[in-house]
Amino acid sequence: MPKVTVERSRVSDQVFGILSREILSGRYPAGELLPTQRRLAADLGVNMTSVREAVKRLEQLRLVESRQGEGMRVRDWRSNSGLDVLVHLVVGPSGLNPQMLGAVLEARRLMLTEAARLAADRRSEEQAELLVELADRIAAAGSIEEAQLLDFAFFAELVQAAGNVVFVLITNSIRDLYLQNAEAFLPLLEDRASLVRHYRTAALAVRGRDPARAAGAVRRLAEEQERRLLEALS
């Protein structure tokens, strides 16, 4: 197990990162007992307080369960964890995990396609105009970084217009993954000129209350972004 080095993040954050990666990778399988907190502290070269804080976060993510007199047992994250675990699955010490990222992008595409369909029926006038404005701003963005922020704003507004609170909560979870690793996701917006028409078609279809056209434009946009990002990682 690697020693913790104090750099930008707190020691407990680093301990949490090490342990969560080893659990999610299967290094510690479901049902197995983790080493004692004292042993972990010694192996990692940190104090007990840092280990306790890290274990508390693991418990909050439902990755481990602590029982008096038994220790810390690894839980089956596939059966017990929620969306909060996404960022730790997709992002590892060497960057984005293509397999896990592919699953996230597939879910994103399916959700956004349906969100566009719903938004065309449920949007307010203000939401419709904002989507058109954001599409125009993406086209006029002066840098890929600016376009990236506008891209997320566009889809976040689309989901809001869909009026489905579960879609909103999922988007909130993906937002942390997206913005905390913004540089890795830049391929989504490369060759932006070929994507601009999809944003505008989707926005105009939502404004015109055309669910099929809105869904089709968003699906094509998400598919193209998905392809670009996965190719960049291959």
Domain locations in the chain as residue ranges: 11-81, 85-233
Burial class (CB in 10 A: 0-12, 13-18, 19+), 90: buried
Task: Assign domain 11-81 to its CATH architecture.
Answer: Orthogonal Bundle (1.10)
Number of other CB atoms surrounding residue 198 within 10 Å: 20
pLDDT at 2: 62
pLDDT at 6: 46
At residue 56's C-alpha, the angle toward residues 44 and 25, to 5°, is 60
Residues in CB range of 80: below 8 A, 6 or more apart: 62
Average pLDDT, the chain: 90
Domains 11-81 and 85-233 share a fold: no
54 and 61 Cβ atoms separated by less than 8 Å: no
C-alpha–C-alpha distance, residues 33 and 54, integer Å: 16
pLDDT at 4: 55
- Closest to 202 measured CA to CA, from 100, 78, 118, 86: 118
State pLDDT tens for residues 124-165.
999 999 999 999 999 999 999 999 999 999 999 999 999 999
pLDDT at 3: 55
CATH number of this structure's domain 85-233, picked from the four choices 2.40.30.10, 2.60.40.10, 3.40.309.10, 1.20.120.530 = 1.20.120.530
Strands (E), the chain: 64-67, 71-74, 91-92, 95-96
